[in-house]
Amino acid sequence: MDTSRMFEFPVKEFFKQPRSLFGAGAYEQAGPEAAQMGMRHVLFVTSGLRGTGIIDECRSNFENAGVSVTVYDEVESNPKDFQVMNAYSRFTEAECDGFVSIGGGSSHDTAKSAKVVAAHDGRNVNEFQGVNQTERLDTPPLIAINTTVGTGAETTPAVVVTDLSSPERPHKWVGFDTAFTSTLAINDPVLCMTQPPEFVAFTGFDTLAHGMEAYVGRVQHLSCTPLALKAVEMVQSNLREATYNPNNYKAMEAMTWAQYIAAQAFSSALLGIMHSLSHAVCAYYDIHHGLNNGIGLARVMTFNQPATPERYADIATAMGEDTRGLNPAQAADKAIDAVIRLARDCGIPDNFSEVDPNYAKSEMGKGEFYENRPTKIESDDAELQAMAEHVMEDVCTPGNPRDLTVEAAKEILRDCVYDPMVRKTTNGYRQNIWGVSPAMGRETHGYSARGSQGEGRQPTQEPVDS
């Protein structure tokens, strides 16, 4: 029975989370845990976290537990395919028997991808993009030690890798597969207190996007929606304090919980076009993923709001807005206002063209592919079109609560690049805010996202004649 023609996401999959440790001092258990798992020589996969002393501390922790350490510390923001393959080469050359990722999502995704490459005899990582593309689950073990309040990649079955080697480059793809999941995830809020302030803000907006997209999306996995809404509430209550007073342990602990539970939520409830858009802009500009989300989230909410005003009304309440006496659409508008206020309070730029490429740990304009790219984002029509097509093809797009056309994606991107971050939603906005016909009245469900010149999504397969 092809129930995909009757329901959206008719069969919902729950992705089991790995065992995890959470709390102050948790990271000191990593070395003994590795020894207990039988690891004798691990590869640290990290950006280096220079200036924090974390890598040296972790090395001592592992060596004191009798586990040797080799370090691969060349991970960049938005990890590239060649960095995954280099980490895999280092792993095999040093004859390691386990991975340890230390950092944020980029380090975790590099290690998660490298362990899948290791389980497939060194096949190119780009072969594993998409959903459930691996052939083996017996990957080397991975302990993921998290240091940011954003991606939740220490627990998720997802990776995001930038393909810079195929003819399709630049292409930032998502891989979603149990094989990517870590063996043990460690969240220690004390480590998160070492982040630069703008990183707290950026990664906090990634968490907000995770919670929000999981809550309003099409999957509606009921074991996830309460967590997603709680994450939104915790970001609203703690992100300002964590950004401006990162030594406030309680605020950072709350943000660490928020990123952790939001990741659990989206692992099974999936995401939406905020992430599709972010992947496209990252592919072209190597800009921080959380910064993308901070700029784009209010725009995506504005586009999505007509498709699910009741859920955005719940978001408004979670964001602390007083929605008494308002109908769902009015309340949903308050959610957009609250997100814009939070973005402004946390120093998120109005749009992409106002991004200062010299933010902490910025990779914009650096790296072999990006060194000839402009660091000021002023996309012309052709680039907006290319990025819009990238958005349409993203794995996250089908989970979005509102159907997307390439024209709408392009207009949302144009708004993100040039316009001020304001709520463009007054009377009647629901019909046609982006200057395109809304993709109303889907004839069938069970679509997959494809690049299409305004045709929206196409059925994954033709109906079978009976």
Name the residues that contact Fe ion, by CB under 5 A. 206
Q: Which amino acid is at 172?
A: K
Cα separations (Å) of 91 from 33, 88, 103, 438? 19, 5, 18, 49
Crossing angle of helices 273-285/289-304, nearest 10°?
A: 140
Q: Which is nearer to Fe ion, 218 or 288 (CB)?
A: 288
Cα separations (Å) of 122 from 90, 128, 141, 144, 356? 12, 12, 16, 21, 38
How near is the Cβ of 213 to Fe ion at its closest, in Å? 9
∠ CA 237-241-247, nearest 5°, is 135
How near is the Cβ of 152 to Fe ion at its closest, in Å? 8
How near is the Cβ of 317 to Fe ion at its closest, in Å? 23
How near is the Cβ of 276 to Fe ion at its closest, in Å? 11
Q: Which is nearer to Fe ion, 282 or 433 (CB)?
A: 282
How near is the Cβ of 39 to Fe ion at its closest, in Å? 29
How near is the Cβ of 109 to Fe ion at its closest, in Å? 11
How near is the Cβ of 151 to Fe ion at its closest, in Å? 5
Q: Which is nearer to Fe ion, 67 or 449 (CB)?
A: 449
Q: Which is nearer to Fe ion, 76 or 206 (CB)?
A: 206
Please identify the residue of the shown chain whose CB is closest to the bound Fe ion: 206
Q: Which amino acid is at 66?
A: G
Q: Which is nearer to Fe ion, 238 or 267 (CB)?
A: 267
Q: Which is nearer to Fe ion, 97 or 206 (CB)?
A: 206
Tokens of residue 251, six digits: 């605020």
Q: Which is nearer to Fe ion, 153 or 191 (CB)?
A: 153
